[in-house]
Structure 1
């Protein structure tokens, strides 16, 4: 890494730390409770009044660094001693932000809630700026990553336990030292829930912007370009797979579908049962929990089963695209190949009557059962797509062509895409 690039990444990361510290200060000014990670030093600052919130935050972070060293011993990366400097910097920024916001008051409950929301937004954006350059880690993040690695558990699970532990400690410390609970209120719960959700929504927008800025001088050699590729997103019962098969045959291209990707993933070392359990399946509750826990924002290790499968599928899709012309059905291929200049992305939908007849016939269901099954699968696909891409599944403006197969029919839909692709050459 060049010196100039290092400095740029450092500035971006420090800006993220500043936004986080500003968010924490607004949460403090709300008097409705603050984020779990800041609860312990906030409580202790009311007992050890000679120390500031920033100073006690530094103390907590140093303790967390020592914990990492104890856990990893000789395996603790020497580069991660930089967390010590980051801790002091973060503590300084917190005290600076507390000074900047010292005149801010919350005259009523509505304003208090607004401060909590603003604080959550600032912390969320700050985390994105801190994490995206992959240069600095706060000690809390480092400890969670360490524990996740040692226990071989997803980061998100460790974070949830970590937050609960910090809040529990803060409650007990408040009761023992101050005879009342302080720093833990509804604002703590709101921020704990909101920060992950906000990051999930804003990260796909902000992170690429940051990376484009940081990588603007680099030559991108790995971009998928120069190939003719069609990606197909589809609702269940729309005939998307059949359209893809016929289109690939008519063009003389390779057809990449569920079976092809499944076989390739299994060859990579993941079991068939694993693929069946996790392929494009995510309930609303799972999506919400993963948003809250920030499941895979801090590291590329200790991933959940869904993440492992998504990464494996994405690699297969990229490899297939690099090898030659192909039609790819599903698996967020339009976003996986976002940097492909010659990628033609389509989405296929159908009205309920058309879809339920196809599904009832294919899966031997009654029409009522078919409707319920369609709604279920489309909901799971939507959750999966929205979570991994940050986009809205089936939103017409995101695609080069949007087809309603119930109006055109399968064969005419094939012809429509075929003609569009040929005309664009």
Structure 2
């Protein structure tokens, strides 16, 4: 039980790191993650914060997971819900802290996107190291893949593309221009996996040390 708790804390550190990187990249105005894009667009046109929309979307994602899995929905999957509130509070706090620190020059904003992508990738590696927990945006493709037998990679790509297209459609309709999906979104999609792969062995060792597992 103590090891599980430590692993969960390690995962929470991961989502905190991801949230900081997400806020930094998003505030540049050069695009956010495909999953976060619709939430960001809605936060620009409605009196609800980025983090609040994350709670709303993530709760829906959890319920959809339950709808697909029903009896096969593990009880511990509900731990996603309190984690969502932690993640969303950190997102809003980081947005508040960073919104005045973003430079106007395009080159500097592009650099901030790059830094944000690296930070998010490091956070993702913390999440992956636990090999058990996940945020609802990752849990939904897992549940659909489990229920349908369609490979996770196909579901995940389709889900990300659908969210990005939804953000483009909503921003064009509500704002009159495309917001949330730009070069930063592409950078995150292209480079996150490579960065995670590079740092994962080191983070895995950190996780093993944190939960008192033998370090290979």
- Pick the TM interval, shorter chain: over 0.9
Task: Check whether the contact 2:7–2:210 (CA below 8 A) recurs between aligned residues.
Answer: no
Corresponding residue for residue 141 of structure 1 = 138
Residue from 160, 175, 179 that aligns with 1:178: 175
**Secondary structure of 2:174 counterpart:** helix
Deviation at 1:109, TM superposition (A): 1.5
Corresponding residue for residue 9 of structure 1 = 7
Higher strand share: 1
Corresponding residue for residue 404 of structure 1 = none
Corresponding residue for residue 166 of structure 1 = 163
1:113-158 deviation per Cα after TM superposition (whole angstroms, max 9, x unaligned): 1111111111111111123124532111110111122232332222
Deviation at 1:23, TM superposition (A): 0.6
Corresponding residue for residue 61 of structure 2 = 64
**Secondary structure of 1:46 counterpart:** helix
> C-alpha separation between the residues in 2 aligned to 1:17 and 1:80?
16
Deviation at 1:96, TM superposition (A): 1.2
Deviation at 1:28, TM superposition (A): 1.5
Structure 1: give runs of 5+ residues left out of the alignment. Answer: 224-338, 340-425
Corresponding residue for residue 47 of structure 1 = 45
Higher relative contact order (CA 8 A, sep 6+): 2
Query: Which of structures 1 and 2 has the bigger CA Rg?
Result: 1
> C-alpha separation between the residues in 1 aligned to 2:28 and 2:174?
22
Higher helix share: 2
Q: Say whether residues 1:211 and 2:208 are aligned partners.
A: yes
| Matched ranges for 1:215-254 at <5 A | 215-216=212-213
TM-score where L is the length of structure 2: 0.93
TM-score where L is the length of structure 1: 0.49
Structure 2: give runs of 5+ residues left out of the alignment. Answer: none
Residue from 14, 22, 25 that aligns with 1:24: 22
Corresponding residue for residue 90 of structure 1 = 87
The ranges of structure 1 where at least 4 consecutive aligned residues each deviate by more than 6 angstroms after the TM superposition are: none
> C-alpha separation between the residues in 1 aligned to 2:197 and 2:11?
19
> C-alpha separation between the residues in 2 aligned to 1:89 and 1:109?
32
Aligned Cα root-mean-square deviation (Å): 1.7
| Matched ranges for 1:99-110 at <5 A | 99-110=96-107
